[in-house]
A and B are shown apart, each in its own frame.
Chain A
Amino acid sequence: MEELSSTTHRNGQLAAIAWVRWRLFANALRSSRGVLELISCIFISLGFVIGGLGGGLFMAAMASFFISQGKPGMLAVLFWVVFVFWQLFPIMATAFTNNPDASDLLRFPLNYRSYFLVRMAYGAFDPVTVLVGLWSFGILAGVGFARPALLPWTLLVLLVFAVFNLLFMQMTFAWVERWLAQRRTREIMGVLFVLLMLSFQLIGPLAGRFGKHARPDMQRVVEALAPVQGILPPGLAGDAIAQAVLSRFIVGLSSLALLCAFALIIGYFLHVRLLAQYRGENLSEVAAPSTLPKDQSLRPGWNLPGLPAPVAAVFEKECLYRLRSGPMLLTLIMPIFVLVVFRLGPLSSSRAIFGRTPDMAFPSAVTYTLLILTNLAYNNFGGDAGGIQFFYASPVRFREIVLAKNLAHAVVLAIETALAWIAVSLLYRAPALDVTVAALAGLLFAAPVNFSAGNLLSLYSPKKLDFSSFGRQRASQTTVLISFGVQIVVVGVGVTIFWMAKYFGNFWIATVILLLLAGISLSGYVLILNRIDGIALARRETLVAELCRA
């Protein structure tokens, strides 16, 4: 009886949470900004649905093709695609993810099981889940089309695989958040990441060292890795269906059992983390011992000659915020990571990304760097939260504050560009001078456009961000949609100019055109910057209300 009552109680709580999330959504529609958010959300969802349906059709075609061609083992490739996308997309495009902080619910008498379920439900409602869900449905349809009798079995395998992915994503977020929350573990993770990058860089030189023997060696590596991938979850899911296609149901069942075991293990690790959260752990920095010399607190701010004091102060504050935000640092490393991933294939292969056009690796990396910065540049005040009131109360013009923030973005951009250049040089070859200069000219054009649009959207569509949490750095839907549009235009212009220059075989043409455009975009930037004070004053209520909300 007590158990029944407890279940009823839990169901009531879960219903209440679902209801409150619905009311939050519905109440947001009372303002014109909320309606705008809804419209943006619809557009973005359409994009996801199109991507999902397109991907789903592709998956269906491939699954059907593999089975009809007698190559069911290749189904594992589709599962690997789903797995990689499911796990990487939320990290690479945090603007699209929507993971509210479930720990806010801990003030209520929520039992642990409900808390776990809520965390899982939050993960399940991510746009990426819908996208990969459609892809998975594609696999189901493809297998069902080729072998209708296998439909129930495939559905079961896909369901277990989906549960595994949900658990894995939540576990990754929970543990990475834990590790990035404290200085010591953050440093260890940083070192590990650098080591990983270095080990990736060895692939190129090693392949080169073996020269013409590289292809058979690579073949042997692939052959050696095939069984390894086969005992990992995506491989197991693919194998469970492949064995069923070959009528080896016992082997297929054992693959599914192993997949379940993986899900259980991952679930256990997630449970350990969530239980610690549930019990009320404190993830903040460990307080430093009080024996520190007292003059530590006398350290003056950064000396930045040439910058007015308020601009220097805000610039310093922005840099400290970046350095203390593990999730933000990880996001900023992504362009280099993507370059490494793209480089994993053989350079000479025409199918490899940048295989035929390694010259385009640097401009592409610069473009991706700019895209990654969108989340910051289009929501300048998101991380300031209640601090926005300080800006309004201080005797500093908003254009100085915004300029300082843009300078901080520009420094991040410059550092990332330099790192990208080094990475491209190591992974591919040193970018040619004309390509490098053209890419930098492109940056001079694109950055002011993005900063201008970002400055306006930061005031018109602000959204509070939590720099300390992983995967909860979502900009407003309006910002996401408009920034997406701006990026399409900017990148489209850049690509057209580069294509034209390549066609004429002279990248200096691109440099000249892009520098002319940079002049225009810089003028536009200054024009908007000069109007920021008026806009900020007019928008102060919205900003304070949005950013100071608990």
Chain B
Amino acid sequence: MDYNLSKEKFNQLLSELKQEYQIYAPVRKENKGTYSANDLITYDLIDNLDDIELNKKSKYSAKEIVFPIRETLFHFMDGEQKMASEDEEKYIIFLRPCDRNAFKRLDKIFLENGPEEDIYYKRLREKVKFFVIECTEGFDSCFCVSMDSNEVERDDYSAFLRFREDGISFKLNDQELKNNYFTDVNDFEKINFEAQFIQENKIKVNLPDKDKITNEVFENELWTEYSERCIACGRCNTSCPTCSCFTVKDVLYDENKKSGERFRRWAGCHIDGFTEMAGGHSFREEHGDRMRYKTMHKIYDFAERFDFDMCVGCGRCDDVCPEYISFSKCINKLSQIVEEGA
């Protein structure tokens, strides 16, 4: 059963949910954009539906709620270690299907790759409920349909929301919320609606035939072009909803007491030092090689390990690149090269 609710009624529910949940959604922050007099669209806490920015894509994804930019792993003092305490908050995240699907990619790395689960990711992830925003139009740089991440399954969300002029149509798929918050659903207007998903983006990407990819393509001059253009700023990494790399660092508060903390911080394969080992040896000094490495990870290597591609086609990397490098164009060029057998 699906329901219709007025905006006012839904906002009332949100204010009740706020007692227990931190509610995140894409919001507009005026004059906080990269350029002067530009707004920043990003994820932040909301009070009600009017706070949500639905008409523009967020520059950053929702990943930092579950995988913070900087996260304390443990505190240490005089040889004793204490795992960073867990906050009691639970989270509701309003997000589009591509961004919901991005969490499936993060789940693979943090919960399935390697011999054990990442306990820090897991303890945040378990407290997240997804409210998926119906997305039928997309934005200019999106290519989610090509990446097969334009749709979600019923099990992927606690609620699925269609935003109408006068209210919200929603599917509720969460027993906990039904029992504790949506208790008067019997008074709601009952409807049936089919979740709609975008079926065609303005940008289409042809993925290279995985069976035809050989190492010869690594040497292609395609990558040399990116050596000339990419400035290794890593914006594509930080805006990406599926980039999950991090670096572990220590900070010493007090040398005498030997107190401080070990933390992790986002890292990116485009940024200098990503591969640098003790003694100074690095791999992929050329920026074009970093583009090649990232591209292959997003559309080939990850799928070799987990059976689906890492890239969800949100297009954020194209939106933020200061050199106007387009990832979707790169994939298409790569496909053409692979197809031509070069």
Q: Do chains A and B interact in one complex?
A: no
Residues of A within 8 A of B (CB): none
| B residues in contact (CB < 8 Å) with A | none
